[in-house]
Each structure stands twice: as C-alpha cells, then as structure tokens.
Amino acid sequence: MASSSNSPCAACKFLRRKCTQECVFAPYFPPDQPTKFANVHKVFGASNVAKLLNELNPTQREDAVNSLAYEAEARLRDPVYGCVGLISILQHRLKQVQHDLNNAKKELANYIGPSAMLPLSHQHHQLLHPHSHHNPSSNTGPYGMSPVGLGLPAAQTQAQVQLLLREQQQQQHHQQMLEAQHLAAVVAAREQQEMLRSYAQQQQQEELVSSNNRNKSIRISNIHTRSREQRAMRLRTLIRLLELWSSSRLSLSAWCFLVLCSRFNSPHIQIPESS
C-alpha cells in the first residue's frame, strides 16, 4: 500500500523527502506511527533498513520491520543489552517455572504415584480414556502392594490409603510444630541473653557513674575542708596581731605589714608570741 501525495509515510516525513508510489517504507511505516521509524532510523539507519527490505521477499518484509522496531525500542530502553536482556530474563523465569513444576510433580508423585511425572498431554489422555491403557501402578496399594494379591476389596484399600495419607500429614504437621517450638525456644534464649547482657552493661555504667560521683564529692569536701582551715588560720593570725598592737609591742606600720603578710600566707614572717 503506497502513500498518497497528501499523506506521506512516517519515513519520508522524518527524512523530509517526497513519498512516491515506489517508496519501500510506505507500507510498513504509516503516517500515524512516526515514533516507530524514528527509533529504527536512530538505531539501524534508514539506508540500511531500505537495503535490507529490498533484499527480502515482500512476504517477509512486514515481519522484518516489526522485528527491527521491537529491537530498536529495546535498544533505546537498554543501550547495553537491548532485547537480549529481555530474552535472558524470560529464559531465567522459564527455567525457574520449570524447576517449580518439577518439584510440584515430585511432591505429587508421593501421593498419586509415578503417573504425576508424565507430561500433561499424556495425563489428559489418560483422564479421557482411562481403560485404553492398562497401568499396573493404578491398582497398587500402599508401598506398591496389589490389593488383589492381598485379597482386600477396593473400598478397604482406598480407606487404608487415605489413612496412610492422613498419618503422613499428621507426622508432617507434628514435625513442623516441633521445628516451630525449637525455633521459638532458640529465639527466646537469644532474647534472654541479650536482655541479661544489656542489664549487665547498664549496671556497670551505673556503678561507674556512682563511683565518679563519689570521687567528685570527696574532692569537693576536701577543698571545702582546706578552705575552712585556711580561713581559721587567717582569723587566728589577725586576732594575734590585734593582741600585739593593743599591748603596744608593735608600731602601726609593723602591724600593717604583718597583716598584709598574713593575708598572703607568707611562711617567712614569724609573728612574735605574747609575753
């Protein structure tokens, strides 16, 4: 489908050229999708895309353009990996789903037998045609024993199977309860150890603080005691000087000198004793 002269294709509009009837881009880049060609041109280049489309058959060109557009968009989103990054992510998810499916089949095989490991198509065929193929494992009882060989009716065999399944479920539930109790005991013991450790650290900190406060109070009391003794010594000295001056044994200048010396606690000045 070629574009008309009034509505050029997105490629010709982007390249600012006239869109002709022989335009190789017109059928695959319509005018209402300009981003599609812009991404392809930015990653691969218009000349390379035109050369690729001319080399392909007309029936393959549309798929090629869609592939180029998808890869260009992925490359613009992720310049490092491009569409390879998306493919690797999807492959990783597919492997994970297959692994989970195999685990589920193995767990299901413990209850319904090896038929759980068969492909889904084969299981569907067995469900639609249960009597077409004889399956020896379908008539086996618990632990691979045949109920016919044991002489047991089908109802009794089914009841035993259900009983065994119920016992297995009870054992699993009991095992889970034991594991949960053990885990709870471990967590409680760990929390108790943490509480004891924190309590011991708090006690050590309180003892250290009380010891520091005790030492500080002792130093303060010693300072107060020394200051009281110094004040008492100065008071006794002044009283002695007053006694000497009142007895007229010292002149006024000598008395003032001794008072100043006593204020500075000079050890070289000896105050004479009273007679």
Q: What is the pLDDT along the chain (275 residues), one digit of tens a residue?
A: 444 446 899 999 999 999 998 899 999 999 999 999 999 999 999 999 999 999 999 999 999 999 999 999 999 988 888 888 888 889 989 999 988 888 888 888 787 766 656 665 555 555 555 545 444 444 444 444 444 444 445 555 666 677 777 777 777 777 777 777 777 777 777 777 777 777 788 888 888 888 888 888 888 888 988 888 888 888 887 787 777 666 655 566 666 766 666 665 555 555 555 44
Q: How far, in Å, CA of 251 to CA of 146, rounded?
A: 138
Residue 39 covered by a domain = yes
Q: Residue 152: what pLDDT?
A: 45
Instruction: Report the number of distinct structural domains present in the chain.
Output: 1
Q: Which residue has the tokens 């060109």?
A: 61
Residue 44 covered by a domain = yes
Range of the domain at 69: 10-77
Residue 55 covered by a domain = yes
Q: Residue 14: what pLDDT?
A: 92
Q: Residue 122: what pLDDT?
A: 56
Find the Cα–Cα–Cα–Cα dihedral 46, 51, 54, 59, rounded to 10°: -70
Q: Residue 193: what pLDDT?
A: 75
Q: Residue 245: what pLDDT?
A: 65
CA angle, 91 as apex, 90 and 94 as ends, to 5°? 85
Residue 19 covered by a domain = yes
Residue 226 covered by a domain = no
Residue 21 covered by a domain = yes
Residue 113 covered by a domain = no
Residue 258 covered by a domain = no
